[in-house]
């Protein structure tokens, strides 16, 4: 992708002013997407974006520059721009010895998507749409989307790190709209893994279409969600986004250091029910947030954030770990070469327990069962959150009964962690996600087993 001598020249230029640290991040990303909407292929697009970002650190000050020109002259100029005006001391003119990092690849690829004809990809869209429409006459609109990407990166820095990775992601989604007496209701299904086109050897897009349609049709018969404090049971996979947003962000070291986290200063304290063990693991084979290395060249790893309810640690990137005299946890990530890295989650999930999920429901006299949560808002400083319930049902006399709609789940992250009193043995990862933070989006995964928590607020529209 780029000669090592070019990288070494850029690092040397970054140190010319006596910087403490310099880093070069090179990226070459190719992508393809296709969208079908109501029987028409609206968009088939391919693109390529490549370039390099150079970061230079002097004391507590960071300089950054990026370029789409991968020539040595351009990278050296970017390094000097990043270091411009910096006044340092002992590293001026120092040579850098690079040592290649070898990290296990959790995502072997069998079929590169770029080797598959676009017509084959577009055909999948039609298959999904036909299956969705066949699910019922109530289906009035269907859209489907296919996308793949291949992201090759190289990272080198003045700590001697030289690391590279080849990251392939493939995803497919279907959205179906059903129309009836209660108006229009939407159902959505998606799959996505860090694999190639072999994704479709194990996942049937027609089944995705049928499931999306059935979800929309079910919601036509749903009653308005109730309102008030109640017991909530969250199903496997579908509620992981709540722990990602309401808890995970508060465990990112940059937010902790800014005082913007409700978990700041609480390492070693009981912050959750003893049933709760929360993990962030960027090495889970095939999962959406997995890779061999992070975007600072550190090997990804599994980090236990909360164990048996006790806060064990935060997630760290290289710069913040350096300032604390500790190792990075492999959570330094960036959207692209044009962005600075920051602390980000990878695959964040709650470990499964030992209880049969059917027993959890049977032991709940009344409440709400949430199969899938949607988007929401979170205040990381307080942990307060609001999430939409995209698929939910009443629990009555220990049984899941009628579907409900137009409801929100309202609560507080630390309070929910402490209110969990049952954790199922049916752990599942949820659909692929994109996490936004400070204007940057990165691929993430999340997951949960069935779990129960008391005292959450459901904001519904029922009279």
Low-confidence ranges of the chain (pLDDT < 70): 85-97, 462-463
Rounded CA gap, 453 and 414, in Å? 12
Q: What is the pLDDT of residue 89?
A: 45
Q: What is the pLDDT of residue 1?
A: 86
Q: What is the pLDDT of residue 348?
A: 98
Q: Which helix (H) or strand (E) holds 453?
A: strand 451-459
**Nearest to 185, CA basis, from 125, 242, 228, 136:** 136
Cβ 190 vs Cβ 203: under 8 Å = no
What's the chain's Rg over C-alpha atoms?
A: 24
**Nearest to 228, CA basis, from 426, 408, 435:** 408
Rounded CA gap, 29 and 81, in Å? 24
Dihedral angle at the C-alpha atoms of 8, 12, 13, 19, nearest 10 degrees? 130
Residue 392: beta bridge partners? 370, 404
- Domain spans of the chain, in order of start: 228-459
Total Cβ atoms within 10 A of residue 430: 21
CA–chain centroid gap for 223, Å, is 32
Range 389-392 contact pairs with CB under 8 angstroms and sequence separation of 24 or more: 389/225, 389/458, 390/188, 391/187, 391/215, 391/218, 391/219, 391/238, 392/225, 392/368
């Amino acid at each position: 992708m780029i000669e090592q001598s070019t990288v070494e020249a850029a690092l040397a230029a970054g140190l010319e002013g006596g910087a403490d640290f310099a880093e070069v991040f090179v990226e070459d990303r190719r992508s393809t997407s296709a969208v079908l909407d109501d029987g028409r292929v609206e968009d088939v697009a391919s693109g390529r974006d490549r370039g390099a970002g150079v970061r230079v650190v002097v004391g507590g000050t960071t300089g950054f520059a990026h370029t789409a020109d991968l020539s040595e002259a351009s990278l050296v100029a970017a390094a000097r721009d990043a270091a411009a005006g910096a006044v340092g001391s002992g590293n001026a003119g120092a040579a850098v010895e690079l040592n290649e990092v070898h990290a296990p690849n959790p995502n072997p690829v069998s079929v590169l998507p770029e080797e598959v004809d676009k017509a084959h990809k577009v055909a999948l869209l039609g298959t999904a749409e036909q299956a969705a429409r066949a699910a019922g006459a109530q289906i009035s609109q269907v859209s489907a989307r296919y996308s793949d990407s291949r992201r090759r990166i190289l990272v080198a820095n003045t700590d001697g790190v030289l690391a590279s990775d080849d990251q392939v992601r493939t995803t497919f989604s279907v959205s179906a709209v059903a129309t009836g007496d209660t108006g229009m209701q939407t159902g959505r299904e998606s799959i996505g893994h860090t694999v190639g086109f072999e994704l479709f050897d194990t996942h049937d897009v027609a089944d995705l279409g049928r499931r999306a349609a059935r979800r929309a049709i079910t919601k036509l018969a749903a009653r308005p969600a109730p309102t008030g404090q109640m017991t909530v049971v969250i199903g496997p996979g579908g509620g992981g986004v709540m722990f990602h947003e309401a808890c995970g962000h508060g465990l990112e070291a940059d937010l902790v250091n800014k005082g913007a986290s409700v978990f700041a200063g609480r390492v070693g304290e009981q912050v959750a029910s003893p049933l709760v063990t929360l993990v962030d693991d960027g090495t889970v084979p095939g999962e959406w947030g997995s890779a061999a290395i992070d975007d600072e060249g550190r090997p990804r790893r599994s980090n236990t954030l909360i164990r048996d309810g006790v806060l064990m640690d935060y997630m760290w990137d290289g710069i913040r770990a350096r300032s604390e005299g500790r190792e990075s946890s492999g959570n330094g990530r960036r959207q692209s070469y044009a962005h600075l890295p920051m602390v980000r989650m990878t695959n964040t999930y709650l470990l499964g327990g030992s209880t049969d999920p059917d027993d959890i429901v049977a032991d709940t006299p009344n409440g709400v069962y949430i199969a899938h949560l949607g988007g929401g808002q979170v205040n990381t400083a307080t942990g307060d959150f609001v999430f939409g319930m995209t698929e939910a049902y009443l629990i009555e006399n220990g049984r899941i009964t009628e579907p409900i709609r137009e409801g929100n789940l309202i609560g507080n992250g630390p309070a929910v962690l402490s209110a969990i009193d049952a954790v199922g043995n049916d752990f599942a990862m949820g659909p692929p996600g994109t996490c936004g933070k400070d204007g940057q989006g990165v691929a993430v995964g999340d997951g949960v087993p069935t779990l129960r928590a008391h005292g959450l607020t459901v904001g519904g529209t029922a009279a």
